[in-house]
């Protein structure tokens, strides 16, 4: 199985960006500002973020991939490859299916508006098995972050033309609206959402093609009250496992780093003989604790 993954547009494509953002943007939630207040997020940056992670998902599941429109996680040095060139690469590599990643827009792009949701485009004439593939992928996408379901849409798009691409099916996924303030700020501007979208697209592809989806094992580097819900749940679950018994009341695995999770961390450290001077308050665990818990 060989699947083409395309990151739409190029890093400097005119107009393909959000309106000016009202706040600073930190894609990775690592404290580093990636887009300053008043600047725009380039669509290609988010497209590449999802596409790069989707390639990793597919490869982990044993699927060969062909990249078009990008070559690595750095989106800022990607040129705007012509659509005909992208089509040729996919056709010449004899790909079975093609997935093109995009974020949608409404209006002239100068201001945010109410258009929202996730949808998938297929070609209106040359779509082969695209509709069934799109429906399966969309089924997984709408199970994740709550969004309006815009359905499977048909249009004469170059990256959906199965005849030109030489594939059994081709889809163009519009993951959210970059002209919707909430979706631009919380989805397009978040690596957490990029990872979620990549995972759900891969799960849909695996279901459609009959390939077993292989879960990724991710160990966070550090966890604190500002960490993702997923990472905090990982901490809570592992604390429950290692502290089971001895009258310990299990934590609710809710992704909230509250006082009970803090106390559980302190109890765990005490059992390990750590933090004997009490200098750490239990609201931050580092790589040593994470490695020991895992």
What CATH number does the domain located at 2-209 have?
A: 3.40.630.40
Place of tokens 């827009």: 105
State the Cα–Cα distance between residues 293 and 265, nearest whole angstrom: 11
Do 2-209 and 223-293 have matching folds?
A: no
Tens-level pLDDT at each residue, the chain (294 residues): 999 999 999 888 888 999 999 999 999 887 889 999 999 999 999 999 999 999 999 999 999 999 999 999 999 989 899 999 999 999 999 999 999 999 999 999 899 999 999 999 999 999 999 999 999 999 999 999 999 999 999 999 999 999 999 999 999 999 999 999 999 999 999 999 999 999 999 999 999 999 999 987 667 789 999 999 989 999 999 999 899 877 889 999 999 999 999 999 999 999 889 998 989 999 999 988 998 887
CA dihedral 127, 129, 130, 134 (to 10 degrees): 160
**The whole model's pTM is what?**
0.76
d(CA 231, CA 264): 16
How confident is the model at residue 245, as a pLDDT?
77
Instruction: For residue 122, give the H/E element and its range.
Output: strand 118-122
Contact call for residues 228 and 235 (beta carbons, < 8 A): no
Please name which of 129, 130, 253, 145 lies closest in space to residue 200, comparing C-alpha atoms: 145
Domain extents in the chain: 2-209, 223-293
**Confidence (pLDDT) at 279:** 92
The pLDDT, as a whole number, for residue 175 is 98
Q: For residue 248, with 0-12 CB atoms within 10 Å meaning exposed, 13-18 middle and 19 or more buried, which class applies?
A: middle
d(CA 214, CA 236): 23
In this structure, are residues 87 and 160 in contact, taking their beta carbons and an 8 Å threshold? no
User: 223-293 maps to which CATH number?
Assistant: 1.10.101
* Locus of tokens 């379901």: 149
Q: Cα torsion for 199, 205, 210, 216, to the nearest 10°? A: -20
What token pair was written down for 127?
């779509």
CA gap 7, 9 in Å, rounded: 7
């Amino acid at each position: 199985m060989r699947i083409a993954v395309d990151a739409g547009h190029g890093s400097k494509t005119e107009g393909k960006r959000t309106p000016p953002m009202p706040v600073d943007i930190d894609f990775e939630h690592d404290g580093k500002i990636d887009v300053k207040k008043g600047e725009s997020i380039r669509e290609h940056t988010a497209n590449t973020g999802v596409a790069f992670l989707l390639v990793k998902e597919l490869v982990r599941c044993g699927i060969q991939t062909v990249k078009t429109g990008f070559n690595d996680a750095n989106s800022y040095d990607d040129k705007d490859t012509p659509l005909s060139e992208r089509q040729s690469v996919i056709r010449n590599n004899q790909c079975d299916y093609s997935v093109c990643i995009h974020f949608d827009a409404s209006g002239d792009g100068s201001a945010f508006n109410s258009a929202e949701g996730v949808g998938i485009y297929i070609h209106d004439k040359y779509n082969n098995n695209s509709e069934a593939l799109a429906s399966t992928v969309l089924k997984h996408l709408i199970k994740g972050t709550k969004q309006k379901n815009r359905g499977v849409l048909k249009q004469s798009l170059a990256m959906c033309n199965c005849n030109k691409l030489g594939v059994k099916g081709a889809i163009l996924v519009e993951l959210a609206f970059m002209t919707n303030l909430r979706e631009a700020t919380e989805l397009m501007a978040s690596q957490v959402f990029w990872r979620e979208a990549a995972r759900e697209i891969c799960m849909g592809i695996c279901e459609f093609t009959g390939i077993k989806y292989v879960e990724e094992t991710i160990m966070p580097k550090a966890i604190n009250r500002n960490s993702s819900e997923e990472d905090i749940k990982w901490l809570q679950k592992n604390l429950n496992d290692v502290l089971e018994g001895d009258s310990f009341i299990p934590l609710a695995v809710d992704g909230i780093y509250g006082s009970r999770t803090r106390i559980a961390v302190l109890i765990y450290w005490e059992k390990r003989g750590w933090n004997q001077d009490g200098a750490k308050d239990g609201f931050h665990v580092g790589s040593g604790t994470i490695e020991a818990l895992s």
